[in-house]
Amino acid sequence: MSLENVFRKQRRQRRALEIEAGAESGTDWATTLLFSCLHDKYGFGRNRFAAMNDMWAHLDEFQEGFIFDWRDELCEHGFDRFLNERIAERMQKMITGRTRDLKLMAKTRDMIAGVAIVIFWTLYTKYKWRDKRLKDLQNYYKDKVYVLTHNEVPIWEFMKCLNVECNIDYPALEAYEKQNGPVDIYHGNRGAR
């Protein structure tokens, strides 16, 4: 094997890792913001999030294309697929930066939009949410994305809040805190407890 082939193989592996990292980041970001919405506005906590997580353990068993069927049914009950795609595009730009890698951008965007569909589908089926609540949640999600994409609140603060209040583990948050120090969600104003 020539040296050129070795470098080509390393570049392919690195690119595959970058695409996977973008997809994982998209999953983390979308889940974090939607869980934050559910926690802040609807009082969801550890138990409901754990129950939702358990439901998702079997997603691999569904046949290909199920996400589109779910999306279409949700659209009949107040879910705005175009808003979901715009949100995914905005978040993707935050995650991938100014890349021109179309596969990275598409995979990240698809994961963000897909996570939202799965969470909304869970609320629709398990908790019987319909038009008003689905629309309200999606608009609240849009507001959180605005705050995030306009650099008013970093994703790490959303993650830290869910970690502290709902005991959700984020390996990315742990790595970030190890490198940059603890995230202070109270901004030094914790007060006496």
pLDDT per position as a tens digit, 117-175: 999 999 999 999 999 999 999 999 999 999 999 999 999 999 999 999 999 999 889 98
pLDDT at residue 64 in the model: 78
pLDDT at residue 87 in the model: 97
What distance lies between CA 118 and its chain's CA centroid?
11
What distance lies between CA 92 and its chain's CA centroid?
10
- Indicate whether 54 pLDDT > 90: no
For 141-177, b/e burial (b = at least 16 CB within 10 A) is bbebbeebeeeeeebbbbbbbbbeebebebebbeebb
* Of 188 and 16, more confident: 16
Angle between helices 131-149 and 3-42 (to 10 degrees): 120
Q: What percent of the chain has pLDDT over 70?
A: 96
Least confident of 2-11, 93-102, 134-143, 174-183: 2-11
pLDDT at residue 193 in the model: 45
Q: List all residues 6 or more positions away from 29 whose beta carbon is below 8 Å from its beta carbon.
A: 91, 94, 95, 112, 148, 155
- Indicate whether 101 pLDDT > 90: no
pLDDT at residue 190 in the model: 59
pTM of the model: 0.87
* pLDDT, mean of residues 11-25: 76
Neighbours of 66 (CB within 10 A): 14
Mean pLDDT of the chain: 88
What distance lies between CA 146 and its chain's CA centroid?
14
